[in-house]
Structure 1
Amino acid sequence: MKPPAYNTAEVQQISQEQGERNVAMAVCVQLAGRAIIRVVSRCEEAQDNCNLDLSECQLMQVPDAVYHLMRHTELKRCDLSGNVITKIPPKFAVKFSLITELNLSHNQMCKLPEELAELQALEMLDISHNTYIALPSVTFRIPQLKQLLANNNSIIEVDVERLKLAPALEFVDLQENPLTPRVHDALSSVTLIKIEMTPREAEEWEDLTV
C-alpha cells in the first residue's frame, strides 16, 4: 500500500498556514497575559491609593478576580473607561459601596443595574460615549449624585419629572444626544438643575424666531 502523495506546493501552503495560526495564537496569548498583568498591577496600586483605574484594559466585564483582590480595600474612585464593557453586575454596588466617583465612559453599555441606587456616597457618574437610548432612571435615585455625564450617547428619552425629583443632582450633560423636540423643550424648563444640551435644529415646519 503506497503512502498518499502530496503536492509539494500544497505541503508548503499547509505548513505556512499552520505557522501563521501558531503566531496569531501566540500573539493572542501574549496580549491576554499583558491585560491580566495590567489588571492585577492596577488592583495592587488601588490597595494603596483607593483609586481603581482599569481604563483601557480590554475588559468585556469586571473580572471576578477584581472583587476578590479589592475585598479589603475601601475604594473611593473607580475608572472603567475605554473598555468594551456591556453591563455592570448588581454586585458591583455591594462590593464597591463607598465609591464617590465612577467612570463608565467609552464602553458599550445601554443600561445600568437598579442596585446602583445603593451607592450612598457616589457624587459623580460618567456614562458618556456609550449606547444608551434613554437616561437610566436609576440615576435619579442615587442619593448623593451631583454630576451626571451622559453626553455622546443615543438618548432620545428622559423622564423629566423624575429627573426633577433627584435628591442631589446639580449638573447633567446631555450634549450630542438625539433628544426629541418634546424632551428638549421639557428639559429647557428645568431650573434647579443645570442641564447642558446641544441646541436643537428647528424642524422644517417650525419657525423658532416667532
Structure 2
Amino acid sequence: MKPPTYNSEAVQQISQEEGERNVATAVCVQLAGRAIIRVVSRCEEAQDNCNLDLSECQLMQVPDAVYHLMRHTELKSCDLSGNVITKIPPKLAVKFSLITELNLSHNQISKLPDELAELQELLRLDISHNAFIALPSVVCRIPQLKRLQANNNSIIDIDAERIKRAPSLEFVDLRENTIPPRIYDLLCCIDNITIELSPRQVEDWDDLNI
C-alpha cells in the first residue's frame, strides 16, 4: 500500500487558517476578560458611591452577577448606556428599587418591562438612541418620574392622553422620531408638560388645497 501523499501548500494554508482562528479566539477571550474585570471593578466602585456606572462595557444583558454584587448596596443611579443591550429584565426594578436615575441610552432596546412602574423614587429616565417604535406606556406610570429622554428612536406610536395624565412628568424629549402628524398635533396641545419635538416635516400633500 502506498503511503498517502499530501499537498504541502494545502497543509500550509490549513495551518495558517487554524492559526488565525486561534489568534481570533484568544483576542475574543482577552476582550471578554477585560469586560468582566471592568464590570466587577465598577460594581466595587458603586459599593462606595452608590452610583452604578456600567456604560461602555460591551454588555448584551445585565449579568446576574451584578445583582449579586450589589445586593447590600442601596443604589442611587444606574447607567447602562453605550452597550448592546436588547432587553431590560423585570428584576432590575426589584433589585434596584431605590434608584432616582436610570440611563439606558445608546443600546438596542425596543421594550420596557411593566415592573419599571415599581421604581417609586425614579426621577429621570433616558431611553434615547434605542430601537423603540412605540413610547412604552410604563413610563407614564412611574410615580415620581419628572424627566424622560426618548429622542433619537423610531417612535411612531405615542398615547398623548396618557402622557398628559402622567402623575409627575415635567419634561419629555421626543426629538428625532418619526411621529405621525396627527399625534404630533396632539402632543403640541399638551400644556402641562414641556415636550421637545423636532420641527414638523411638511409632507407633499400638506401643500395641496384639497
Q: TM-score, normalised by structure 2?
A: 0.97
Whole-angstrom distance in 2 between the partners of 1:3 and 1:40: 56
SS at match of 2:6: coil
Whole-angstrom distance in 1 between the partners of 2:3 and 2:72: 65
Structure 1: 5+ residue stretches without partners: none
Identity across matched positions, percent? 78
Whole-angstrom distance in 2 between the partners of 1:112 and 1:181: 25
Aligned to 1:133: 133
Q: Deviations over 1:158-178 (max 9, x none)?
A: 101111110000000000000
1:207 positional shift: 4.4
Write out aligned runs for 1:37-116 (5 A). Answer: 37-116=37-116
The amino acid of 1:21's aligned partner reads R
Aligned to 1:203: 203
1:3 positional shift: 3.2
Whole-angstrom distance in 1 between the partners of 2:3 and 2:103: 63
Q: Deviations over 1:102-153 (max 9, x none)?
A: 0000000000000000000000000000010111000000000000000000
Whole-angstrom distance in 1 between the partners of 2:200 and 2:187: 12
Aligned to 2:7: 7
Whole-angstrom distance in 2 between the partners of 1:124 and 1:169: 10
Q: How many positions carry a matched residue from both structures? A: 208
Whole-angstrom distance in 1 between the partners of 2:65 and 2:21: 30
Whole-angstrom distance in 2 between the partners of 1:36 and 1:4: 48
Say whether residues 1:169 and 2:169 are aligned partners. yes
1:11 positional shift: 1.1
SS at match of 1:83: coil
Say whether residues 1:119 and 2:95 are aligned partners. no
The amino acid of 1:165's aligned partner reads R
Write out aligned runs for 1:174-189 (5 A). Answer: 174-189=174-189
SS at match of 2:37: helix
Whole-angstrom distance in 2 between the partners of 1:46 and 1:165: 35
Structure 2: 5+ residue stretches without partners: none
The amino acid of 2:200's aligned partner reads R
Whole-angstrom distance in 1 between the partners of 2:129 and 2:113: 18
Whole-angstrom distance in 1 between the partners of 2:183 and 2:128: 19
Higher mean C-alpha deviation, range 199-208 or range 94-103: 199-208
Whole-angstrom distance in 1 between the partners of 2:109 and 2:101: 18
Higher mean C-alpha deviation, range 198-207 or range 149-158: 198-207
Whole-angstrom distance in 1 between the partners of 2:159 and 2:197: 15
Aligned to 2:154: 154
Whole-angstrom distance in 2 between the partners of 1:170 and 1:149: 11
Q: TM-score, normalised by structure 1?
A: 0.97
The amino acid of 1:89's aligned partner reads P
The amino acid of 1:147's aligned partner reads R
Whole-angstrom distance in 2 between the partners of 1:104 and 1:166: 20
Instruction: Find runs of 4+ consecutive structure 1 residues off by over 3 angstroms.
Output: none
Q: Deviations over 1:42-77 (max 9, x none)?
A: 000000000000000000000000000000000001
Whole-angstrom distance in 2 between the partners of 1:188 and 1:59: 37
The amino acid of 1:144's aligned partner reads Q
The amino acid of 1:31's aligned partner reads L
